Structure 1
Amino acid sequence: MKPMAYLDNFYHQFYGPETGRKWVFLHGLMGYGQNWRKIVASLESTERVLTYDQRGHGRSFQPEFGYSPEDYANDLAKILEELGWDKIILVGHSMGGRNVLNFATRFPEKVEKLVIEDIGPEGNPLAHEYYEYLLNLVPTPFVTREEARRFFFEDFIKTAKTRENVTVMANYFYANMAEKVDGTIDWRFSKKGIIDSVRYGRSDDRWHEVDALKVPTLLVRGENSKELSPENYEKMLASNSMIKGVVIPNAGHWVHSDQAQPFIEALKLFVGGF
């Protein structure tokens, strides 16, 4: 494949035959494209799939500024233009769900079907403070990977006040540690980019985007989610007839990880099989 000037800013993977329907999956805050691997494995025999680390995340470029849903959505628009992909099935989890919501309202002609996983459009101007608190607990950089491991699975678990299971969060943070050029161990992502993503993504509510959706949309909620409340889930369904919903039992916020097979079955039903 010829070099892609804009896509080359992003660590990315293609799966499946080029003749298949085009899918793009966008991960959540502090995630990366490989978070979708288990889901993509069920599609790649017939579907053409793109996953990538979004800006500021994983191994992609980490600009100093530009972490609003509009910025993330503009990245996707440029990537699709470069690829020549006219229409896609678009899936986004958490922060990625907010980004795909913005994309679908601004570029509806590009979206065949939309899947929003476990995120609502409500605003919370103080939301970034929680992530700022957690990230600031971590005394990066670490001299060795063993030092990082010891911190997360001893000190962090004892002291961090987390909404989700603290051990799960410790594992998630530790997975985001990477060796830098100087040999130290530091965040794989842009710390400022993470905080700004929450700051700008949550600064205002985005109910107007939900109301404006003109593409068939599946809203997926984890039964035990603390992120998408039952009230906001129902309100989203009631606000736009284009939105259908599914609640997946025994799943938290990470629905596609907690209950991969039911998530895959929900996708299949929504798009008519694959």
Structure 2
Amino acid sequence: MKLNFKKTGQGEPLIILHGLFGSADNWFSIAKELESDFTLFLLDQRNHGDSPQSEDWNYDVMAEDLKEFMEDQQIDSAFLMGHSMGGKTAMNFAMRYPEKVRKLIVADIAPRFYPLHHQHILEGLNAIPIETLKSRKEADDILSQHIKIPGIRQFLLKSLGRGDNGGFVWKINLPVITEKIANVGEALETDNTFSKPTLFMGGENSDYIRSEDKKEIESLFPNSHIIYIKNAGHWLHAEQPIAVVETVKAFFKK
């Protein structure tokens, strides 16, 4: 699959993968702070942003999408960073193609299985009558009945776009994501290890990377360590962008 992407900066290649319900645009402000050090490639993963949509949606195909992208861009190897779902894609890719990854950052996700916990978001998104929707305010009003935090609603509604006929459309493949949401929580299943430098970067206020995950992380990524960004939750790059930028530079450049 030919993924949509944004390219900026100069220097060694750094590929960034967004999380569930997100897009390349989520990382653009971070990329602006890194573009003097790296050539950045911000990808829309399949069924998100402006990339193609497909009934096939799991980490196997998303890892292969990344391989195809690197081949198309003639990138032999790159620094790789993924957040949440993108982190799981990045882990899967690193296990399959370690020669293509120089160093790896996994942002606020562990290799373990995660139970379903996005149902209220999917209920809210599916409650929006996309074919008859008149305004973004109407969408926000409906979504507010399911999601109380305005910042989360604002993030989710970034996937609301305009179609060729002027009406609203979802940039995410909402039906497939709804049907196959369990795939996002799947554990990293592999007999391999990734021995190159790896950083697990968690949010201090998030429970996505727990202390009990350390043993599994170290067994799969023996050259890894875990840090936590202070005063940050799951969307650490939005909540503490300066700390994330400094961490990324320090890890990839040392």
Q: Same fold (TM over 0.5)?
A: yes
Runs of 4+ in 1 over 6 A off after TM superposition: none
**Residue matched to 1:112:** 102
Deviations 1:3-45 (A, max 9, x none): xxx6xx332211123xx21110001111111211121112212
- Cα deviation, 1:118-175, whole Å, max 9, x if unaligned, reads 0122224645645432322322234322xx31341x3432x21x5xx62122212222
* Paired amino acid for 1:253: H
1:231/1:142 CA distance change after superposition, 3 Å? farther
The equivalent residue for 1:180 is 163
1:135 aligns with 2:125: yes
* Match of residue 205 from structure 1: 187
The answer to whether 1:75 aligns with 2:65 is yes
Secondary structure of the residue that 1:195 maps to in structure 2? helix
Give the drift of 1:189. Answer: 1.4
For residue 221 of structure 1, what is the aligned residue in structure 2?
202
The equivalent residue for 1:234 is: 214
**Deviation by residue 1:103-124 (Cα, 9 ceiling, x = unmatched):** 0000001000000000122224
Q: Which of the residues 49, 53, 63 maps onto 1:58?
A: 49
How many residues are aligned here?
253
Aligned to 1:272: 253
Cα pair distance change 1:155/1:16, threshold 3 Å: closer
Write the mapping of 1:23-42 to structure 2, written as runs, cut at 5 A: 23-42=14-33
Question: By how many angstroms is 1:244 displaced?
Answer: 1.1
CA distance in 2, matches of 1:36, 1:155: 27
Change (3 A) 1:207 1:265: farther
Q: Of 158, 176, 192, which residue of structure 1 is paired with 2:175?
A: 192
Local SS of the residue matching 1:50:
strand
Distance, in Å, in 1 between the alignment partners of 2:43 and 2:247 is 22
Q: Distance in 1 between matches of 2:44 and 2:167?
A: 22
After superposition, the C-alpha distances for 1:30-78 in whole angstroms (9 at most, x for unaligned) are 1111211121112212311111211111111112x22101111101101
Mark the runs of 5 or more structure 1 residues left unpaired by the alignment.
Answer: 1-5
Aligned partner of 1:247 in structure 2 is 228
Unaligned runs of at least 5 residues, structure 2 = none
Matched position secondary structure for 2:33: coil
> What RMSD in Å do the two structures reach over aligned CA positions?
2.2
Q: Which residue of 1 aligns with 2:79?
A: 89
Q: What is the TM-score of this pair, normalised by structure 1? A: 0.84
CA shift, 1:233, in A, is: 4.4
Specify the SS of the correspondent of 1:35: helix
Which one is further off, 47-56 or 91-100?
47-56
Distance (whole Å) between structure 2 residues aligned to residue 99 and residue 25 of structure 1: 11
Contact 2:63 2:89 in 1 (8 A): yes
Structure 2 equivalent of residue 149 of structure 1: 137
Amino acid at match of 1:134: G
Q: What SS is found at the alignment partner of 1:23?
A: strand
Deviation at 1:81, TM superposition (A): 1.2
Question: In structure 2, what residue type is equivalent to 1:230?
Answer: R
Structure 1 residue 268 displacement after superposition: 1.7
